[in-house]
Structure 1
Amino acid sequence: MDNKQLKTIAEELFQVKDKSWGMYAFSRDILKNKVADKDKEAMIEQAIRCGEETAVWAMKEFGTSNPWEMAKKLKLKVEFTDRGQIADRVLFALFTPPDRVEIMTEPIEHLGGESGLDGLITKEEIIRLILGHEIFHYLEDEIEGIYTRNEKIILWNFLGYKNKSTLRALSEIGGMYFSRKINEISYSPFALDILLYYNYSPDEALKMYREVLSF
């Protein structure tokens, strides 16, 4: 895939509808088969609303929409790490309770280099979007009753005992739309999942891109 093609893919990803991104998030959840598609759609809507409403609350509460200023007021320890691939996993950021946010610079540098995305997105914008997402994960631990941590599905039911679990997909959706709201962008930050992954595995990134467009 050349840079021109990558830019075309980025432009198309920036036009993908919210519902499609939500289904993409569910496709990567290990519990995806435990939820019917019609229930997924309702959950996606609620998770998006949760992220956006939490963003509105946070901007009012902290008096800023700037994720760096917000992180400072929350006393989060934001660190940059010169890595992106850990074992067989590619990570862009990591929130470690209670207050540590680690942002991986390697995938950002790769994408922000000669990737052909000039005019579409900058390194600084990518970092702000990633930071906004991790701030949401921090707030999930702080806000009692937040939807993304309270919506649960029943894994099994035996003699009246129910084993329930949260859904990682809902947390990821909430984080993306929280970040979109505070950063005031028009597209879903989910696009970065694919764009940042490209330099590690172009074929897999292309497969992910086609999958998103199929939803």
Structure 2
Amino acid sequence: MLKGHPDIRITVRFLDKLYQDAVTICENEVYKDFLQNQSSKGIEACNKLNGLYLIPKDIHSQQFILVSSRQLKDGYSYISTVAHETKHAIDHTAFAKKYYNGRFEDIGKHEYSPLFEAWGEYVAHKIGHSVFISCAMNIILGMSEDEIKDELSNNQMPIRISTLQELMKQDSTKENVKEILSTLAKFAIWESDLGIDISDLSDILLTTLRNLNRYDDSARP
């Protein structure tokens, strides 16, 4: 994934408590201030994350990906988490270089930074899921393409569609939108990588997926 990105230096750390270590390691004062001002509920939510990309200070900084150590006991999900967070590193680096001369601390000043973050979650989930299918399901678990397609189409798709239907009934909070986008990302990969029919999605979700894909640079590993 980092081929062609010689300026991105990433260290991956497996940790028990993401929040406490994130505050300790983070050099980006803006992001660190955001972390330190989290409520107890926010801290708890952070520690439940699979992984966390620490937005660095500037283009010369070492970039850190923190992964919950519980993922080492949870099959091979850490593979998709590392790929997901690496995509965040690639996109944030490109954004900082294009608009702020490599200063990551200024990303939040851009008028479209919330849209960038939403788009970033979608494409990061796409990469993470694609890597999980190709590495974990195919190479490690030895599943054939037909077996993978059967598992995703017959077992996973009905569950995900039900999840989306419930999410669409809820208020459009930031977390709700992120959950919708992360789920849609799976459908996008099922269609593009495996040719699975995703037409059971509602029209509005299909339209959202198609529009997001128009701006997806698809930086596959």
* Greater strand share, structure number: 1
Q: Which has the higher helix share?
A: 2
Using the size of structure 1 for normalisation, the TM-score is 0.36
